[in-house]
Amino acid sequence: MKRSEKAGRIAVLLEELYPEVPIPLDHSDPYTLLVAVMLSAQTTDKKVNEVTPALFAEAGSPGAMVALGQQRVLEIIRPIGLSPTKSKNLVALSQDLVEVHEGQVPASFEALEALPGVGHKTASVVMAQAFGVPAFPVDTHIHRLAARWGLSSGRNVVQTERDLKALFDRSLWNRLHLQIIFFGREHCPARGHDLASCAICGWAATKKRMCQEARR
């Protein structure tokens, strides 16, 4: 089956499974989404959602985050991974938002990626979910499933993003990246997965991937 045909079939199946795709990270506006996405690096969305209510109660805006200070931010977010670096970046990016962007989250990839601690994936999530700009953020679930399904060589997330954007219509990107994440979490784990019985892997996984998974 050609990649394009496979991609089309996957998109239809995921739309049937996930007609509604809520954003996993709790937030109320572009700023709180930006903060939540930054905090989610190398930790779970569940853990982020456990600490952000207390953080946003004290600092729900860039100005309030700067006023709160790095030490207090660190105390609140300490349960999540990389908290010292994240607390430093949160205060620094909030300072930039106040000084450069009048306290507003900019709606451009270039401006977002210029903020301290904001990489392409974080910027892509914010652009897609806060501003409705087509983007295809690639996390670990998407990266491994794109490789497992033969949609990308999977050498790195940059290539995976490029391959997926080429395969799927631009109008699908913002929903599809969330649908793939949900499918990966609920039906398609990294290990101990029976590919043959999977609703997608059963027909989409490459023979090479089947052999690799079987040897694990």
Catalytic residues: 121, 139
Q: Please report, as a single letter, which amino acid is at residue 194.
A: D
What is the amino acid identity at position 155? Answer: R
